[in-house]
Amino acid sequence: GAGVSQTPSNKVTEKGKYVELRCDPISGHTALYWYRQSLGQGPEFLIYFQGTGAADDSGLPNDRFFAVRPEGSVSTLKIQRTERGDSAVYLCASSLGPSTTDTQYFGPGTRLTVL
Amino acid sequence: RKEVEQDPGPFNVPEGATVAFNCTYSNSASQSFFWYRQDCRKEPKLLMSVYSSGNEDGRFTAQLNRASQYISLLIRDSKLSDSATYLCVVNGGTSGTYKYIFGTGTRLKVLA
């Protein structure tokens, strides 16, 4: 079946602009996660949704970052007033449920470059 | 101290060699453990879960030592296609926490 998809695959923007990154999870997966990966580092947790609600947003670096999942499926990560330090690969993952043993499946990521 | 620590490598090994990676974690309440593989400019993909009793999948063996808080991955008879970054992942530790905590990854290069 279809895996996790993310759009766009690449996004180049200028400092100070607003961007939206989209994630389409595996059908039937109730849990959705956003991570950020910088060069040479492992992915870093940003936010986790169970259904429509953000169950854990402790990884969002500041209030310029916001994410929604209004219908419990597709999620959008929104970044306001982008900064050069926001440049990274943004990964989305989904899992069947919130169990700690459930495997998280990752999308191909969106590579964000802030000039 | 980082929550999950790995030697970043790179580990350069000849084909057919056996190579082992270790990973330590700081939260003794952590509940689930995984090894993910990540190829260059690709997303992480699950290689195997790590169970207390240890588990094996073909040439790959994973071990968990809760007392010492470390996880290991052993790759036997290395293939060129095993070249990748191996990410140690720890989940849970606090009730209701399902986020993955990743190590920085260990780079493996298998040489012909």
> Is A66 at the interface with chain B, CB within 8 A?
no
What is the mean predicted confidence (pLDDT) over B28-50? 93
Which residues in chain A have their CB less than 8 angstroms from residue B92's CB?
100
A83-92, B8-17, B87-96, range with the lowest pLDDT: B87-96
The residues near A50 (Cβ < 8 Å, ≥ 6 apart) are A30, A31, A98
Q: How far apart are CA B9 and CA B90, in angstroms?
A: 20
Interface contact A105, partner B, CB < 8 A: yes
Q: What average pLDDT does the segment B39-62 reach? A: 93
Contact across the interface for B49 and A103, Cβ inside 8 Å: yes
CA distances from A52 to A48, A70, B34, B43 (A): 10, 6, 27, 24
Q: How far is Cα A10 from Cα A19, in angstroms, rounded to an integer?
A: 12
Average pLDDT, chain A: 94
Amino acid in position A17: K
pLDDT at A82: 98
Ranges of residues in chain A whose predicted pLDDT is under 50: none
**pLDDT digit string, tens, across residues A30-63:** 999 999 999 999 999 999 999 999 988 999 999 9
Mean residue pLDDT across chain B: 92
In sequence order, what are the residues at sequence separation of 6 or more whose Cβ sits closer than 8 angstroms to the Cβ of residue B95? none
A101 touches chain B (CB under 8 A): yes
Q: Considering only CB atoms, which chain A residues are within 8 Å of B105?
A: 41-42
The string of pLDDT tens digits covering residues B69-80 is: 999 999 999 999
Task: Closest CB to B104: pick one of A42, A95, A102.
Answer: A42
Helix or strand (DSSP H, E) at A106? strand A105-106
Q: Which of A17, A6, A37 is nearest to A115 (CA)?
A: A17
Give yes or no for a contact between B22 and B72, defined as CB atoms under 8 angstroms apart: yes
Q: Is B93 a residue whose pLDDT tops 70?
A: no
Residue pair A43/A35 in contact (Cβ under 8 Å)? The answer is yes
Q: Which residues of A touch B49 (CB under 8 A)?
A: 101, 103
CB hemisphere CA count around A37 (13 angstroms): 29
Structure tokens at A10: 């690449």
Q: Does residue B96 sit at the A interface (CB-CB below 8 Å)?
A: yes
Cβ separation A48–B98 shorter than 8 A = yes
Residue in A45, A99, A101 nearest the CB of B100:
A45
